[in-house]
Amino acid sequence: MEKRKEVVRLISELITGLDTKQKQQILAQLLQTKEGIPISAFNSSLSGLEIVVRYAKDNDRRSFSEIAATLNRKLSTIYTTYTKSRKKFSQALDVSDNSVCIPITIFHDRRYAVLELIISFLKEQERLSFKEIAALLHKHYNTITTTYRRYKSKHG
């Protein structure tokens, strides 16, 4: 608790030295930061699960066991998925566009495929059209509608 108070005091000192415009810029950046996987991460050649695991491991710095618990999967599955994804795609994931962020917790439900969960989140929570979802995910419109229909038939 003492350490937290000291950090708050130091931040307050730093902020008081800034002009109004600089304070507004910092506030805008803080408000822009969202929890979850940025939509641009899904624009790689990896599968949905590989992207989720890679992001959780490389960007969120989560342990394999923590990822396994969050995604409701076996530890060996997470480790294998991560290892294979590193071989297939050695670069870092593109996290430049965080206009929409997919919460990692939605992938806990194993009844649905990763793509089904992403599309349902974008459609139902973010209220995006199929056309907008197709553009964001760089997928064909028919792929999006078919996948969403499959999700709805499972969901009831």
Looking at the predicted structure, is the pLDDT value of residue 10 above 80?
Answer: yes
Are 138 and 118 contacting, i.e. CB atoms less than 8 angstroms apart? no
Note the pLDDT of residue 110. Answer: 94
Kindly state the DSSP code that residue 36 receives in the 8-state scheme: S
Give the pLDDT mean for 115-137. 96
Between 37 and 28, the higher pLDDT residue:
37
The answer to whether the Cα torsion of 74, 147, 103, 54 is positive or negative is positive
pLDDT of residue 140: 97
The whole-number average pLDDT for the span 142-155 is 96
Confidence (pLDDT) at 12: 82
d(CA 112, CA 49): 12
Is residue 22 within 8 Å of 87, Cβ to Cβ? no
Q: Where are the domains of the chain?
A: 1-33
With b for 16 or more beta-carbon neighbours within 10 A and e for fewer, the 59-92 pattern comes to: eeebebeebbebbebeeeebbebbeebeeeeeee
37 CB-contact burial (10 Å; exposed 0-12 / middle 13-18 / buried 19+): buried
pLDDT tens digit sequence for 59-118: 999 999 999 999 999 999 999 999 999 999 999 999 988 889 999 999 999 999 999 999
